Amino acid sequence: MLQKGDKAPDFELFATPDQKFSISELKGKNIILAFYPADWSPVCSDQMALYNEMLKYFSKYEATILGISVDSKWSHLAFSQSRTLHFPLLADFEPKGEVSKLYGVYNEKEGESNRALFVIDKEGIIAWSYLSPAAINPGADGILDALESLTSKNQ
C-alpha cells in the first residue's frame, strides 16, 4: 500500500456511464480517495453516507472526495442515486482493480478493493493513508486530522 510521502499515481476512470474522470483534473486541490469493497454492502453504504454528510467539512480544507470500487459505472450510478450521494464514485472495473493495484489496495482473494483511505495534498503527494478492516467503517476522523495537518503545514 502506498504510504505518506509517495507520489499519488494519476489515473482515469468512469465517473458516470459516459464521463471519465482523472485526478489530474483536481491539481491544486487536496484529494481524498476512499477505496471500498462494494456498492450496496451495509458497511460501504454507511461509509459513503457519512462522507456525503461530511462534504461541507471536506470543502473547508479545499478537499474533494472520490469513492472507488471495482463495481461497474452502472452499479455506481444506481447506488449513488439511491443514496443521494453528491461526490463521484469511480469505477475501477476494467481492467478490474487496476487503480486499486496501483495504490496497493486490491484484494486478489476477494476480487475487490480493500477498504482504504488516502489524503493527497495539492502537489499530488500522499499526506496520509489508512487500511481499514473490511468489516469496519473507518469514519472520517483520520481524514480530518490529515487535512488539518496539511492546513497547519501551509500556514
Is there a catalytic annotation at residue 44?
A: yes
- Burial letters 55-92, b for 16+ CB under 10 A, else e: eeebeebbbbbbbbbbbbbebbbebbeebebebbbbbb
Count Cβ atoms within 10 A of the Cβ of residue 48 and give its class: 0-12 exposed, 13-18 middle, 19 or more buried.
buried
Do 88 and 15 touch, CB atoms closer than 8 A? Answer: yes
Q: What are the φ and ψ backbone dihedral angles of 110, each rounded to 5 degrees? A: -90, -20
DSSP type of residue 17: T
Do 37 and 113 touch, CB atoms closer than 8 A? Answer: yes
From the list 44, 119, 147, 150, the catalytic residue is 44
Active-site residue list: 44
